């Protein structure tokens, strides 16, 4: 009867057991974790907006005006005018006809991929795509799923060339969540045009961080194409919670009719949408946050070069330090924690076998001294 016990023991023996820590107080560069002060490089609050006074005030005001719950799903009891305003503002700002808001990025991808991708379609998916893209593709029951090696455009082209299906979808992260690198989106869109495919881009880690006014990775790379459907999340750089999909009117209308994670889930509390609207204003105006993130990124990358591990190059806020085996990486994370620094150890299945790493994520809330403190600790432990 103790099979789960056995399974958990097996995880522990492989160095794969995950642990949860309890954080007191708001998201900041320094957190109180299990009662201990920790300098944290663990969050996706890249712009430092998760506890920004404008967002907190907007949430307080919305709470007084709209209360808390949404009642039922958006198609049953209506969606809040705050959510509607957020959709409109996102669409106008990003230059799409329409936007559909989802409760989270995971829910968005689980809903939109099966709704978009027909059962006789062929899907082309980067090997390092986020788990929720992979799960969305599984749920789609697509006829043919081609997984191409990370960023390998020759392999993608070969698969597109040999695909029998008339409907083709290329699905990719824009910024890879555990590697911090960018998908070659220009080449992907060019291939989509050549082979008459559509592209779904998940910009969870580029939205707010890259591009003009923080419009994201497509803006950063200067890409505009009617073949691209764009999704991003509001829980990372935007500092709140939620996600959205941006596309043409027809696509969005179809998603509203068919995305099961939109239809069969409770609508978003207006307070979250109100906070997101305040966040959009900060994202657009506070160029200095992106500037700071870039400067801290360069400082960190220069410092990591002197260490005996592989630091993956990155223009995003994600800076992976690959140690390889699961035990080395957990030992290193523990040693850092003993010094009051929190960097998460990322192990399989989040990353491939043998590629366990520290995932250092920066925020505009970090100071140069804090980045130096991390580098000094890593040097001592090397
Ligand atoms: C975090 C993440 C998601 C999920 O977004 P949530 O809003 O946290 O559910 C989706 N895609 C990618 C690439 C992510 O990194």
pLDDT digits (tens, 9 = 90+) for 234-267: 999 999 999 999 999 999 999 999 999 999 999 9
Mean pLDDT, the chain, rounded, equals 96
Rounded Cα distance, 162 and 170, in Å: 14
Ligand 1 center from residue 243 Cα (angstroms): 8
Query: What is the structure's pLDDT at 98?
Result: 98
Q: In which band, very low, low, confident or very high, does the pLDDT at 19 lie, cut at 50, 70 and 90?
A: confident
Q: Is the pTM of this model over 0.95?
A: yes
Active-site residue 250, yes or no?
A: no
Measured by CA distance, the residue closest to atom 6 of ligand 1 is 105
Q: Which domains are present in the chain?
A: 19-47+286-381 (3.90.1150.10), 53-285 (3.40.640.10)
pLDDT digits (tens, 9 = 90+) for 165-201: 999 999 999 999 999 999 999 999 999 999 999 999 9
Q: Return the best residue to mutate from 129, 235, 351 for the ligand 1 pocket (most ligand atoms within 8 A of CB).
A: 235
pLDDT digits (tens, 9 = 90+) for 118-169: 989 999 999 999 999 999 999 998 889 999 999 999 999 999 999 999 999 9
Of residues 52, 101, 130, 205, which has the active-site annotation? 205
Interacting residues of 113 by C-beta distance below 8 A, sequence separation 6+:
133, 136, 137, 139, 140, 171, 200
Rounded Cα distance, 11 and 23, in Å: 25
Backbone angles phi, psi at 175, to 5 degrees: -115, 125
The pLDDT of 7-31, averaged and rounded, is: 92
Query: What is the structure's pLDDT at 1?
Result: 62
Q: Is the CB of 204 under 6 A from ligand 1?
A: yes
User: H or E segment at 246?
Assistant: strand 243-247
Distances, alpha carbon 377 to alpha carbons 141, 204, 294, in Å: 48, 30, 22
The pLDDT of 304-324, averaged and rounded, is: 95
Cβ 306 vs Cβ 379: under 8 Å: yes
Active-site residue 150, yes or no?
A: no
Cis peptide before 349 (omega within 30 of 0): yes
Of the chain, the percentage scoring pLDDT greater than 70 comes to 100
> What secondary structure letter does DSSP report for 73?
B
Residue 243 has which token pair? 């996600």
Ligand 1 center from residue 233 Cα (angstroms): 6
Active-site residue 177, yes or no?
A: yes
pLDDT digits (tens, 9 = 90+) for 49-86: 999 999 999 999 999 999 999 999 999 999 999 999 99
Query: What is the structure's pLDDT at 34?
Result: 87
Query: What is the structure's pLDDT at 194?
Result: 98
Query: What is the structure's pLDDT at 310?
Result: 93
Q: Is the CB of 177 under 6 A from ligand 1?
A: yes
Is 1 exposed, middle or buried (CB count within 10 Å of its CB: 0-12, 13-18, 19+)? Answer: exposed
Ligand 1 center from residue 372 Cα (angstroms): 29
Cβ 99 vs Cβ 245: under 8 Å: yes
Cβ 122 vs Cβ 169: under 8 Å: yes
Residue that wins the pLDDT comparison between 14 and 200: 200
The pLDDT of 289-293, averaged and rounded, is: 98
Residue 240 has which token pair? 């709140």
Q: Is the CB of 114 under 6 A from ligand 1?
A: no
């Amino acid at each position: 009867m103790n099979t789960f016990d056995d399974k958990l023991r097996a995880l522990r023996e492989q160095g794969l057991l995950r642990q949860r820590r309890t954080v007191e107080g708001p998201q900041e560069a320094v957190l109180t974790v299990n009662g201990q002060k920790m300098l944290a490089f663990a969050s996706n609050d890249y712009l430092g907006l998760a506890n920004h006074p404008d967002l907190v005030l907007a949430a307080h005001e919305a709470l007084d005006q709209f209360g808390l719950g949404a009642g039922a799903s958006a198609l049953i009891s209506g969606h809040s005018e705050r959510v509607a305003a957020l959709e409109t503002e996102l669409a106008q700002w990003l230059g799409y006809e329409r936007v559909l808001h989802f409760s989270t990025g995971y829910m968005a991808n689980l809903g939109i991929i099966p709704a978009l991708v027909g059962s006789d379609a062929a899907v082309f998916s980067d090997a390092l795509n986020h788990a929720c893209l992979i799960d969305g593709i599984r749920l789609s029951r697509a006829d043919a799923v081609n997984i191409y090696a990370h960023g390998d455009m020759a392999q993608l082209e070969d698969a597109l060339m040999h695909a029998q299906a008339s409907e083709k979808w290329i699905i990719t992260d824009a910024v890879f969540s555990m590697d911090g690198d960018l998908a070659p989106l220009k080449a992907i869109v060019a291939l989509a045009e050549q082979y008459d495919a559509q592209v779904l881009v998940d910009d969870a880690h580029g939205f707010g961080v890259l591009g003009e006014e923080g419009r994201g990775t497509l803006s950063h790379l200067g890409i505009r194409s009617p073949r691209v459907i764009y999704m991003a999340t509001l829980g990372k750089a935007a500092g709140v919670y939620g996600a959205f999909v941006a596309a043409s009117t027809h696509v969005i209308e179809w998603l509203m009719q068919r995305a099961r994670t939109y239809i069969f889930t409770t609508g978003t509390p207006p307070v979250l949408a109100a906070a997101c609207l305040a966040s959009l204003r900060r994202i657009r105006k506070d160029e200095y946050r992106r500037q700071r993130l870039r400067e801290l990124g360069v400082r960190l990358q220069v410092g990591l070069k002197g260490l005996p591990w592989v630091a993956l190059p990155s223009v995003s806020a994600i800076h992976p330090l690959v140690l390889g085996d699961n035990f080395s990486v957990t030992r290193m994370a523990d040693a850092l924690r003993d010094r009051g620094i929190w960097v998460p150890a990322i192990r399989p299945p989040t990353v491939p076998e043998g590629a366990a790493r520290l995932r250092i994520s920066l925020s505009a809330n970090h100071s140069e001294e804090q980045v130096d403190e991390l580098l000094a600790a890593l040097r001592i432990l090397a």
